[in-house]
Structure 1
Amino acid sequence: MNQLRRDVFQAIADPTRRDIIDLLAGRSLNLNAIAENFNISRPAVSKHIRILVECGLVVIAEQGRERFCRADVRKLQEVNAWTERYRALWNEKLDALGDFLDQQ
């Protein structure tokens, strides 16, 4: 079966995955500790973690028999770079609107 290529935009499109990233920002947790924070099944949490790993937003480190997850938010720079282009466009448009309103 052909695996779909996942990207950071797909990862952050889901609110549960955004919450997982927030939860793991600055700390490592095992899968059970992550799952305790959500009202969804542990397999559903594992699926979200797998997508985040595929997108490079979560890294899993094995310590003995435990698997600890941590966020690697460097990939979010892609999102920032993409939105920055539109921020400049909107600032330009809002400045033009302000100029227009000042002339009225």
Structure 2
Amino acid sequence: MESLPALDTRPRATHYGAPAVHEFHRAGVLEEIREQGFIPRSVEWRKPDGTLLAGLNRSVLEDIDSVHCLPLDRLGPLLLKRLTQYPTAKVYWNHKVLNVGQDATKA
């Protein structure tokens, strides 16, 4: 379910850590994310004047769960394309979840 009438085109959320990358791999979209985005090889923290406080060279961490970067407005279409390959999948646009619950017989 999605409350919007279509995919959100605002370029929000750009960095995805190990848990998300693991799920992208399971969903079969990780290679496309790598092709369209990038994996940062370093990160630095600086003072407002630009003075380096600390840095981390991530190039030694060449594993599948490294942070991956791709703006959400570019990730959404990849995920939607993959989802629509499943004949039973359906996206409900303009819908909101109003309540969830569970009792002794169902969730």
TM range (shorter): under 0.3
Q: What's the TM-score once normalised by structure 2's chain length?
A: 0.27
